[in-house]
Amino acid sequence: MKKLIATLCLISLFNFAFGQSATDNLPYSQIPAAAATYNSGDMVARMIDGLGYRFFWATEGLTQSDLEFTPSSESRNTLQTLEHIYSLSQTIRNTTLNQPNLRPEDLSGMDFEDFRNGTLENLLEASQALSAKDEADVAKLKMVFEGSDFRRELPIWNLINGPIADAIYHTGQVVMLRRMSGNPMNPKVNVLTGVTAK
């Protein structure tokens, strides 16, 4: 009996230590504390934090069936939507770090975990970079796209109404798709407070 109890305790400890670590180490399970200031960098960073929180919970607990789900043959499936959100997060991150976005981008070989983890990490890095910038630094930011035969620059305004807004929009699609595939998002998610009840 003692051996059985010891074995069960060991299994429980293993599951706690290793089974939960992937999610526990990801950012945005709750929204970070708000900045004390209201400068432009903090404002855009907060938009990104709101996206990060929504994306974390929209993608938490997705199954292979969810990832393959599509409402029609003409629509992206959930995994393809996550790939697109990842690309948007790359653009958001690169812009905040003054790095160009190289086209075309090779995403072959990436899977769900890569897209999810990468998106969350990109958003956190972008938010932190913006929070560290003053008004003058934010005003200088450009969204740059480069390819073998082109270069295009757009002001920071286009980052807000483009990739950030688009990523929020598509995160909402993931929430809808997972509901349609029978695996709705955690109902305890509170996007107003940014805290999910246990």
CATH code, 33-180: 1.20.120.450
**pLDDT (0 to 100) of residue 7:** 39
Task: Name the DSSP letter for residue 31.
Answer: P
Q: Give the model confidence (pLDDT) of 77-119 as tens digits.
A: 999 999 999 999 999 999 999 999 997 778 889 999 999 999 9
pTM: 0.86
Q: CA-based diameter of the chain, in Å? A: 72
CB 138 within 8 A of CB 40: yes
Domain ranges of the chain: 33-180
Beta bridge partners of 151: 146
Mean pLDDT of 19-30: 73
- The answer to whether residues 124 and 116 touch, using CB atoms and an 8 Å cutoff, is no
